[in-house]
Amino acid sequence: MGNSLDGTKRLIGRLWGEAKTSLYRNAIYLMATSVLGQGLGFFFWAIVTHVYLPGDVGFAITLFSTISFVAALALLGFNVSLIRYLPDADDQADLLNTTLTLVGIASLLLGLGFLAVVAVFGLNLSFILDGPAYPLAILGGILACSLGPVLDTAAVALRRADVSMWRTVALGILKIPVAVVIAFTLGSALGIGRFGVFVALVLSVGASVLLEGVWLLPRVLPGYRPALRARFGRLRRMMRFSNGNYAAGVIGSGGSALLPLLILVSLGPGQATQVSYFYVASAVAGLLSVISGSTFTSFFAEASYRNADRHRDERRALLLTLGLLAPAIVVFWVFAYLVLLLFGVNSDAYAVAGTTPLRILTLASIPAVANNLLVTRVRVRRRTLPLIVGATIGTMVILILGTVLLRADGITGLAAAYVLSVAAPTPYYWATARKSFVTEPLEPLEPVLLGP
φ/ψ of 221, rounded to 5, equals -115, 100
Tell me the residue type at 160: R
Is residue 446 helix, strand or coil? coil
Residues 6 or more apart whose CB falls under 8 angstroms from that of 41 comprise 172, 283
Cα distances (Å, whole numbers) of residue 93 to 76, 149, 154, 213, 428: 19, 16, 10, 11, 38
| Total number of residues shown for the chain | 452
What pLDDT, on a 0 to 100 scale, did the predictor assign at position 10?
53
DSSP 288-336: HHHHHHHHHHHHHHHHTSTT--HHHHHHHHHHHHHHHHHHHHHHHHHTH
Tell me the residue type at 417: A
Cα distances (Å, whole numbers) of residue 266 to 118, 222, 397: 17, 50, 16
What pLDDT, on a 0 to 100 scale, did the predictor assign at position 307?
74
What pLDDT, on a 0 to 100 scale, did the predictor assign at position 102?
95
Beta bridge pairs of residue 448: 383
What pLDDT, on a 0 to 100 scale, did the predictor assign at position 450?
37
Q: Which of 359, 320, 360 is nearest to 337 (CA)?
A: 359
What pLDDT, on a 0 to 100 scale, did the predictor assign at position 192?
55
What pLDDT, on a 0 to 100 scale, did the predictor assign at position 226?
93
Q: Which of 43, 20, 58, 112 is nearest to 262 (CA)?
A: 58
| Cβ atoms of residues 127 and 133 within 8 Å | no
Q: State how far the Cα of 213 lies from the Cα of 423, in Å rounded to an integer.
A: 36
Rama region for 307: left / alpha / beta (φ>0; ψ in -120 to 50; rest): left
pLDDT under 70: residue ranges of the chain: 1-27, 30-31, 186-192, 345-346, 439-452
What pLDDT, on a 0 to 100 scale, did the predictor assign at position 27?
67
Give 186-216 pLDDT, tens digit per residue: 654 444 578 888 998 999 999 999 999 999 9
What pLDDT, on a 0 to 100 scale, did the predictor assign at position 440?
59
Residues 6 or more apart whose CB falls under 8 angstroms from that of 230 comprise 98, 101
